[in-house]
A = this chain, B = another copy of it.
Amino acid sequence: MDLEDVTAPACCAPLSGPALGEDDAAELAGVFKALSDPVRLRLLNMIASADAGEACVCDLTGAFELTAPTISHHLKVLRQAGLIDGERRGTWVYYRVVPERLTRLSGLFTLPHLASA
């Protein structure tokens, strides 16, 4: 038996791994709910691909034909799901992805026979 990584939430072991408990499934479903919106996916894409690893909310808002409060709402949902983090510097908030969270999601969909290939 492999040693357990106590820093890894049970929620994000591979789907091909041990049984997902009810609480972990509920938590994970919430993360996917945050991802189940096209605008939020495009925002996450813009933040993940931004130069220097961070995107100014001023640039994100300008890319959509949506109001600033609507973009702020979507960013808040992504932030509450732990997918992005924001830091205010002067007038603007700058967002970056939370790499640990994205890496865990990547691992969730890894299949063992493919991972060992």
Residues of A that sit less than 8 Å from B by CB: 14-20, 22, 25-26, 28-30, 32-33, 35-42, 44-46, 48-49, 97, 99, 102-103, 105-111, 114
Q: How far is the CA of A66 from the CA of B24 in the complex (A)?
A: 19
Q: How far is the CA of A29 from the CA of B96 in the complex (A)?
A: 20
- Count this chain's copies in the assembly: 2
Give which listed residue, B18, B25, B35, B114, contacts A32 with CB less than 8 A. Answer: B35
Kindly list chain B residues whose C-beta atoms are within 8 Å of the C-beta of A17: 45, 49
Q: How far is the CA of A14 from the CA of B57 in the complex (A)?
A: 21
On whether A25 and B42 interact (CB within 8 A), knowing A36-B36, A102-B111, A114-B103, the answer reads: yes
Distance in Å: Cβ of A77 to nearest Cβ of chain B: 12
